[in-house]
């Protein structure tokens, strides 16, 4: 299907990649390639009360839903607009109370099912790709992923069977959950805090590269795709599906595990940044290759262990875990090594949670420069780190340092988010207030 439903780009058959998105005109750095409303979306439970359930606006004077007292809205218009989806959960949340706990993916799939029931025409989010065309990769799923899928299906029946008549059969649900897991997006704020989950079919059309020429940001529940490299007519438009901090082997493992393909992009074939990313501490004698491989295995294990530990350990225990892992890895890895940076970032997060502002600032200062080396230009990870650091500095009355960091964040955000984005306006206002 060739469809020029997005001005300036078209769907095409990409060599060795299947369908993809191709530019038909030139796009300058920072230019909007296209915007895509969400086909369906859901605000994460942890942000209830801070963001409007319908438009995701962040404000303090939100009004509660009169029935469930959990969903919050900007005004009556937002509440009415959200009711066709919120009604799926409103009564159930009251009935189940603290036992109401479907995963975000289950909540999103329930909304997709309801939307598909009432939608007869192509959605504005499907100008080039229909949701039903999403790849599911069911034939490539291992038993663990299949078990997770089945658990989600059981949860959907448990929490929504009273509110969705004639739920699709298990075969259809298995495919839909697999499609959402492979093609869904997480909506994040300017500091990369998780706000919710959504599907954006036209955005999902883009193939992956570890050196992407566009970046996806969010304005409420609309995805905006902007050029972060010059794009010429005929160039394929590439997004990144994963965090690009890590070395080639890690990225390929992640892509194969989550998206079922082996990346052959230029960055993966040249491995041009791997040496810098895997910097070894300067010692009197170089460690043996097996010592390095052993430490990499330890690093990967401790990263996974920490991810699980966040669900049951106290903040103090988590911080100790981070510090011990950095001490061990630091015997071989330099502070700029990406595995060290990963655990420093986790340490910074724990310090922020514990309101240890000096500790968080100290970690941020160690992270921010290596981030700007390891990540591509106009990276949201770099912008968010400068932003966090800038706000920490201002809170600790380090005005000069704060303004300098915020300006560095702003320079990236004006390209990635666009100069008219409300996040950009907020940062400009923070800078202006320091004059």
Task: Determine the pLDDT at residue 286.
Answer: 87
Whole-number mean pLDDT of the chain? Answer: 94
Cα radius of gyration rounded to whole Å, the chain: 23
Mean pLDDT of 339-357: 97
Q: How confident is the model over 113-145, as pLDDT tens digits?
A: 999 988 889 999 999 999 999 999 999 988 989
- Domain membership of residue 422 (yes or no) is yes
Residue 63 lies in domain = 9-239
Is 31 found in the same domain as 161?
Answer: yes
Buried-state track 46-67, b at ≥16 Cβ within 10 A, e below 16: ebbebbbbbbbebeeebeebee
pLDDT band at 34 (very low <50, low <70, confident <90, very high): very high
- Domain membership of residue 300 (yes or no) is yes
Share of the chain above pLDDT 70, in %: 99
Is 303 found in the same domain as 233?
Answer: no
Is 113 found in the same domain as 174?
Answer: yes
User: What is the SS3 string spanning the chain?
Assistant: CCCCCCCCEEEEEECCCEEEEEECCCECCCCEEEEEECCEEEECHHHECCECCCCCCECCCCEECCCCCCCEECCHHHHHHHHHHHHHHHHHHHHHHHHCCCCHHHHHHHHHHHHHHHCCCCCCCCCCCCHHHCCCCHHHCCHHHHHHHHHHHHHHHHHHCCCCCCCCCHHHHHHHHHHHHHHCEEEECCCCCEEEEEECHHHHCCEECCCCCEEEEEECCEEEEEECCCECCCCECEECCCCCCCCHHHHHHHHHHHHCCCCCCHHHHHCCCHHHHCCECCCCCCCCHHHHHHHHHHHHHHHHHHHHHCCCCCHHHHHHHHHHHHHHHCCCECCCCHHHHHHHHHHHHHHHHCCCHHHHHHHHHHHHHHHHHHCCCCCHHHHHHHHHHHHHHHHCCCHHHHHHHHHHHHHHHHHHCCCCCHHHHHHHHHHHCCC
Question: Which of 239, 266, 287 marks a domain boundary?
Answer: 239
pLDDT band at 186 (very low <50, low <70, confident <90, very high): very high
- Domain membership of residue 3 (yes or no) is no
* CATH number of the domain within which 183 lies: 2.170.270.10
Is 212 found in the same domain as 162?
Answer: yes
Q: Pull the structure tokens for residue 267.
A: 């960055």
- Domain membership of residue 269 (yes or no) is yes
pLDDT band at 6 (very low <50, low <70, confident <90, very high): confident
- Domain membership of residue 2 (yes or no) is no
Is 344 found in the same domain as 223?
Answer: no
Is 235 found in the same domain as 255?
Answer: no
Task: Determine the pLDDT at residue 435.
Answer: 81
Task: Determine the pLDDT at residue 141.
Answer: 87
- Domain membership of residue 421 (yes or no) is yes
Task: Determine the pLDDT at residue 46.
Answer: 94
- Domain membership of residue 87 (yes or no) is yes
Structural domains counted in the chain: 2
Helix, strand or coil for residue 185?
strand
Q: How far is CA 430 from the centre of its chain?
A: 25
Residue 169 and residue 172: Cα distance in Å, rounded?
Answer: 5
Is 305 found in the same domain as 416?
Answer: yes
Is 335 found in the same domain as 191?
Answer: no
- Domain membership of residue 231 (yes or no) is yes
Is 229 found in the same domain as 179?
Answer: yes
Task: Determine the pLDDT at residue 2.
Answer: 41
* Residue 4 pLDDT > 70: no
Is 257 found in the same domain as 128?
Answer: no
Is 213 found in the same domain as 145?
Answer: yes
Mean pLDDT of 20-38: 97
Residue 419 and residue 413: Cα distance in Å, rounded?
Answer: 8
Is 71 found in the same domain as 105?
Answer: yes
Task: Determine the pLDDT at residue 118.
Answer: 85
Q: How confident is the model over 77-102, as pLDDT tens digits?
A: 999 999 999 998 998 899 899 899 99
Mean pLDDT of 26-37: 97
* Residue 428 pLDDT > 90: yes
Q: In 3D, which of 26, 23, 68, 30 has the Cα closest to residue 49?
A: 68
Q: Which residue has the higher pLDDT, 320 or 141?
A: 320
* Residue 3 pLDDT > 70: no
Question: Which of 181, 213, 239 marks a domain boundary?
Answer: 239
Task: Determine the pLDDT at residue 5.
Answer: 62
Question: Which of 214, 239, 264 marks a domain boundary?
Answer: 239
Mean pLDDT of 239-259: 96
* CATH number of the domain within which 272 lies: 1.25.40.10
Share of the chain above pLDDT 90, in %: 90
């Amino acid at each position: 299907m060739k469809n020029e439903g997005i001005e300036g780009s078209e769907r095409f058959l990409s060599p060795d990649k299947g369908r993809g998105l191709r530019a038909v005109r030139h796009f300058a750095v920072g230019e909007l390639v296209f915007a895509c409303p969400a086909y369906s979306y859901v605000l994460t439970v942890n942000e209830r009360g801070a963001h409007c359930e319908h438009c995701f606006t962040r404000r303090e004077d939100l009004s509660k839903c009169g029935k469930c007292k959990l969903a919050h809205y900007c005004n009556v218009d937002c509440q009415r607009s959200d009711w066709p989806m919120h009604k799926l959960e409103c009564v159930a949340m009251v009935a189940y109370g603290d036992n109401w706990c479907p995963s975000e993916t289950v909540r999103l799939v329930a909304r997709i099912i309801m939307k598909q029931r009432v939608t007869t025409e192509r959605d504005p989010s499907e100008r080039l790709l229909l949701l039903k065309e999403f790849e599911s990769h069911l034939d490539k799923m291992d038993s663990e992923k299949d078990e997770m899928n089945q658990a989600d299906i059981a949860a959907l029946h448990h929490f929504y069977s009273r509110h969705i008549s004639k739920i699709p059969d298990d075969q259809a649900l298995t495919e839909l959950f697999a499609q959402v897991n492979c093609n869904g997006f997480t909506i994040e704020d300017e500091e990369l805090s998780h706000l919710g989950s959504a599907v954006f079919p036209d955005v999902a059309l883009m193939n992956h590269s570890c050196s992407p020429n566009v970046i996806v940001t969010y304005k409420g529940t609309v995805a905006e795709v902007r050029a972060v490299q010059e794009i010429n007519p005929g160039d394929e438009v590439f997004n990144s599906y994963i965090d690009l901090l890590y070395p080639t082997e890690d990225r390929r493992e992640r892509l194969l595990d989550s998206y079922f393909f082996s990346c052959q992009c230029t960055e993966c074939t040249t491995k041009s940044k791997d040496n810098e990313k895997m910097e070894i501490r300067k010692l009197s004698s170089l460690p043996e290759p097996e010592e390095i491989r052993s430490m990499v295995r330890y690093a990967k294990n401790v990263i996974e262990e920490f991810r699980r530990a966040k669900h049951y350990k106290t903040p103090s225990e988590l911080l100790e875990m981070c510090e011990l892992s950095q001490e061990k890895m630091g015997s071989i890895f330099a502070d700029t090594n990406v595995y060290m940076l990963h655990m420093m970032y986790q340490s910074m997060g724990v310090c922020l949670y514990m309101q240890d502002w000096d500790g968080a600032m100290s970690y941020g200062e160690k992270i921010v420069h290596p981030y700007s080396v390891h990540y591509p230009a106009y990276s949201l990870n770099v912008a968010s780190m400068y932003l966090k650091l800038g706000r920490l500095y201002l809170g600790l009355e380090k005005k000069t340092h704060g303004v300098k960091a915020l300006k560095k964040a702003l320079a990236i955000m004006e390209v990635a988010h666009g100069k008219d984005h409300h996040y950009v306006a907020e940062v400009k206002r923070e800078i202006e207030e320091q004059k």
